[in-house]
Amino acid sequence: MDDNKSTLQEEERIKQAFKERDWNEIKSANSWVIFKVMAEFVEGFEKLAKIGPCVSIFGSARTKPDHIYYKMAEEIAAKLVRHGYGVITGGGPGIMEAGNKGAHSQGGKSVGLNIVLPFEQTHNIYIDPDKNMTFDYFFVRKVMFVKYSQGFIVMPGGFGTLDELFEALTLIQTKKIARFPIVLVGKSYWSGLINWIETVMLQQEKNISPQDMNLFSVVDTPSEAVAIIDDFYSRYLLTPNF
Convert 115-184 into a string of H (helix), E (strand) and C (coil): ECCCCCCCCCCCCCHHHEEEECCHHHHHHHHHHHCCCEEECCCCHHHHHHHHHHHHHHHCCCCCCCCEEE
Specify if 3 maps to a domain.
Answer: no
Paired residues of 54 in beta bridges: 86
Residue 12 within a domain = no
Report angle CA 111, 34, 56 to the nearest 5 degrees. 20
In a domain, 29, yes or no: yes
> CA of 92: how far to CAs of 34, 57, 121, in Å?
26, 12, 6
CA 47, CA 130: separation in Å to the nearest integer?
A: 8
User: Is there a domain that residue 2 lies in?
Assistant: no
Q: Is a pLDDT exceeding 60 seen at residue 240?
A: no
Q: What is the mean pLDDT of residues 211-227?
A: 98
Handedness of CA 56, 72, 131, 235 (dihedral sign): negative
CATH number of the domain that residue 158 is part of:
3.40.50.450
Does any domain span residue 213? yes
By the 8 A CB rule, do 213 and 202 touch? Answer: yes
For helices 95-105 and 68-82, what crossing angle results, to 10°?
40
Q: Which range of residues forms the domain containing residue 120?
A: 20-233
Identify the band that residue 123 occupies on the pLDDT scale cut at 50, 70 and 90.
confident
The single-letter code of the amino acid at 197 is I
Q: Where does the pLDDT of residue 5 fall: very low under 50, low under 70, confident under 90, or very high at 90 and above? A: low
Q: What is the pLDDT averaged over residues 186-206?
A: 98
Q: Is residue 143 part of a domain?
A: yes
CA distance 74 to 96: 9
Cα 238 to the chain's mean position, in Å?
19
Comparing 242 with 155, the larger pLDDT belongs to: 155
Q: In this prediction, what percent of the chain has a pLDDT beyond 70? A: 84
Structural domains of the chain, count: 1
Read off the pLDDT band of 122 (50, 70, 90): confident
Q: What pLDDT score does 234 carry?
A: 85
Q: Does any domain span residue 58?
A: yes
Residue 238: pLDDT over 70: no
pLDDT score for 32? 81
Task: Give the mean model confidence (pLDDT) for residues 28-44.
Answer: 86
> Does 156 reside within a domain?
yes
Residues 63-70 have a mean pLDDT of 98
Q: Please report how the helices 138-148 and 159-173 are oriented relative to each other, as an axis angle in degrees rounded to 10.
A: 60
Q: What is the pLDDT of residue 29?
A: 66
Q: Is-contact 165 190, C-beta < 8 A?
A: no
Q: Average pLDDT of 155-173?
A: 97
